[in-house]
């Protein structure tokens, strides 16, 4: 037995391989179930008790040597003739988000999250709209001067097809397809033919909100908007509702929040008034409900719409709207948001 072990020790020290396959052959020859070393372990059972200690030590030594030799031969071929192993799924996203999110996406996601906590789900609609969804169903009759408030881009000179001027069009699509209760928000991009400046752009983003059910009142609207303002701008934020006009709501209002830059004392962002307007809102006009097949004798509801750019500018004290569209990395890399 001892002789056999010595023989194998010598053999293994001299053995060599030229590629991975030969290494595998060696492993099978020595270490597989029927391999030379394993067979010796089987024979070990019949070694007389008084020799077991000595033989056992040598046998273990042999096994370790063989294993080491095979491991080291394997390692040589892994680094030379083998390509590095490919990750199993090349389409898998890298861990973590490379870069940072766009500030408008951060704020949009925050708005979705804030309303999500009080039961609002998210729906989106098309950016290319027809006259009915963008205007007529919302109580803008043809030739109505309110249409001029929203300088519209028409598609291919067709007055029926246009780029939506607001996300209110998604209210109509939603009410046409769903009966109350409806509690949804609609984020999206909108388009108006405006000259680009620090305060206006021809492309911007809105989030629209809609809540229709039995017994929904203006008090519900006010409470919902107050909750939103405090979640978005901080617990100390105050709100103020001013009467306004929109064709699709009656009564209509505009909501201001206390300026979070000067704390309401007055600065050039709030034009020294202490207040900044952030959204339009109101009780959905009964004829809009009827236009969408909802019985206005049973149901009431409120709607609101806000500009994401405006809210982001206030939140991060950004003074020029054009920065959102230029994608200058020096601007973008300042925003790190979890959402
Ligand atoms: N669609 C309006 C705009 O773009 C904003 C708005 C006002 C939306 C009042 C509403 C609302 O839902 O109730 O100027």
Which of 111, 242, 248 has most ligand 1 atoms within 8 Å of CB, for mutation? 248
Would you say residue 16 lies in a domain? yes
For range 247-264, the mean pLDDT = 92
Which of 167, 201, 205, 208 has most ligand 1 atoms within 8 Å of CB, for mutation? 208
Residues 120, 185: Cα–Cα separation, whole Å? 6
Which of 304, 308, 309, 311 has most ligand 1 atoms within 8 Å of CB, for mutation? 304
For range 77-89, the mean pLDDT = 65
Q: How many Cα atoms are found within 13 Å in the side-chain-facing hemisphere of 212?
A: 27
Would you say residue 46 lies in a domain? yes
Query: Residue 189: its pLDDT value, please?
Result: 98
Would you say residue 271 lies in a domain? yes
Give the range among 46-55, 285-294, 330-339 with minimum mean pLDDT: 330-339
For range 10-31, the mean pLDDT = 87
Residues 225 and 315 in one domain: yes
For range 25-38, the mean pLDDT = 88
Could you tell me the two tokens for 335? Answer: 């925003």
Q: What is the pLDDT of residues 125-147, one digit of tens each?
A: 999 999 999 999 999 988 887 77
Give the range among 153-167, 177-191, 218-232 with minimum mean pLDDT: 153-167
Alpha helix locations (H) across 81-130?
103-116
Q: How far is CA 323 from CA 10, 101, 106, 191, in A?
A: 75, 14, 15, 17
Would you say residue 97 lies in a domain? no
Residues 64 and 141 in one domain: no
> Considering the chain, what percentage of its residues have pLDDT values greater than 90?
56
Residues 59 and 160 in one domain: no
Residue that is last in its domain, among 19, 48, 81: 81
Q: For the chain, what is the mean pLDDT? A: 90
Find the CATH number of the domain harbouring 212: 3.30.930.10
* Closest protein CA for atom 12 of ligand 1: 304
Residues 131 and 185 in one domain: yes
Q: What is the pLDDT of residues 168-200, one digit of tens each?
A: 999 999 999 999 999 999 999 999 999 999 888
Would you say residue 93 lies in a domain? no
For range 211-239, the mean pLDDT = 97
Looking at the structure of the chain, the number of domains it has is 2
Query: Residue 93: its pLDDT value, please?
Result: 73
pLDDT for residue 60 is more than 70:
yes
Q: How far is CA 50 from CA 41, 123, 150, in A?
A: 17, 83, 103
Residues 216 and 326 in one domain: yes
Ligand 1 atom closest to 210 (CA): 12
Distance (Å) from CA 246 to ligand 1 centroid? 7
Distance (Å) from CA 136 to ligand 1 centroid? 15
Distance (Å) from CA 156 to ligand 1 centroid? 26
In three-state secondary structure terms, 246 is strand
Give the helix, strand, coil percentages of the chain, each rounded to 5: 40, 20, 40
Give the range among 136-150, 216-230, 314-328 with minimum mean pLDDT: 136-150
pLDDT for residue 76 is more than 70:
yes
For range 8-34, the mean pLDDT = 87
Query: Residue 338: its pLDDT value, please?
Result: 52
Cβ < 6 A, ligand 1 pocket: 166, 168, 208, 246, 249, 280-282, 303-305
Residues 30 and 125 in one domain: no
In three-state secondary structure terms, 326 is helix
Would you say residue 92 lies in a domain? no
pLDDT for residue 4 is more than 80:
yes
Distance (Å) from CA 181 to ligand 1 centroid? 20
Does the CA dihedral 59-64-69-70 come out positive or negative? positive
Residues 33 and 117 in one domain: no
The pTM assigned to this predicted structure is 0.72
Query: Residue 96: its pLDDT value, please?
Result: 65
User: Please, which pLDDT band fits residue 79 given cuts at 50, 70 and 90?
Assistant: low
Q: How many Cα atoms are found within 13 Å in the side-chain-facing hemisphere of 146?
A: 14
For range 300-307, the mean pLDDT = 98
Ligand 1 atom closest to 302 (CA): 13
Token look-up 């063989």 returns 66
Between 69 and 104, where is the model more confident?
104
* Closest protein CA for atom 13 of ligand 1: 281
Residues 71 and 123 in one domain: no
Residues 159 and 254 in one domain: yes
Residue that is last in its domain, among 81, 115, 140: 81
Between 52 and 220, where is the model more confident?
220
Would you say residue 98 lies in a domain? no
- Quote the domain boundaries for residue 49: 2-81
pLDDT for residue 51 is more than 90:
no
pLDDT for residue 323 is more than 80:
yes
Distance (Å) from CA 191 to ligand 1 centroid? 14
* Closest protein CA for atom 7 of ligand 1: 280
User: What is the side-by-side strand order in the sheet with 154-155?
Assistant: 128-130, 158-163, 154-155
Residues 46 and 123 in one domain: no
Ligand 1 atom closest to 209 (CA): 12
pLDDT for residue 80 is more than 60:
no
Residues 245 and 162 in one domain: yes
Between 281 and 14, where is the model more confident?
281
Residues 27 and 151 in one domain: no
Query: Residue 223: its pLDDT value, please?
Result: 98
Would you say residue 290 lies in a domain? yes
């Amino acid at each position: 037995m001892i002789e056999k072990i010595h023989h194998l020790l010598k053999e293994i020290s001299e053995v060599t391989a030229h590629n991975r396959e030969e290494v595998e052959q060696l492993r099978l020859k020595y270490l597989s179930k029927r391999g030379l070393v394993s067979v010796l372990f089987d024979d070990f059972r019949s070694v007389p008790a008084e020799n077991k200690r000595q033989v056992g030590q040598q046998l273990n030594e042999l096994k370790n040597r063989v294993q080491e030799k095979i491991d080291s031969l394997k390692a040589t071929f892994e680094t030379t003739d083998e390509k590095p192993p490919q990750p199993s799924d090349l389409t898998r996203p890298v861990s973590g988000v490379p870069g940072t999110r766009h500030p408008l996406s951060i704020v949009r996601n925050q708005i979705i999250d804030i309303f999500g906590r009080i039961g609002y789900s998210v729906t989106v609609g098309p950016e290319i709209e027809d006259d009915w969804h963008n205007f007529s169903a919302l109580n803008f009759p043809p030739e109505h001067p309110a249409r001029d408030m929203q300088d519209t881009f028409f598609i291919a000179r067709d007055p029926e097809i246009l780029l939506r001027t607001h996300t209110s069009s998604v209210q109509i699509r939603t009410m046409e397809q769903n009966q109350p209760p409806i509690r949804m928000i609609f984020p999206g991009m909108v388009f108006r033919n405006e000259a680009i400046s620090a305060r206006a752009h021809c492309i911007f983003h809105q989030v629209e909100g809609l809540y229709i059910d039995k017994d929904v009142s203006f008090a519900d609207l006010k409470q919902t908007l107050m909750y939103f303002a405090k979640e978005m701008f901080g617990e100390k934020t105050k709100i103020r509702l001013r009467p306004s006009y929109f064709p699709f709501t009656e009564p209509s209002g505009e909501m201001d929040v206390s300026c979070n830059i000067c704390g309401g004392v007055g600065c050039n962002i709030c034009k020294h008034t202490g207040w900044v307007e952030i959204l339009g809102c109101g009780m959905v006009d009964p004829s809009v409900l009827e236009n969408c097949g909802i019985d206005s004798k049973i149901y009431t509801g409120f709607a609101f719409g806000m500009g994401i750019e405006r809210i982001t500018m206030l939140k991060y004290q950004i003074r020029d709207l054009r920065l959102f569209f230029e994608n200058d990395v020096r601007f973008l890399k300042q925003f790190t948001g979890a959402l």
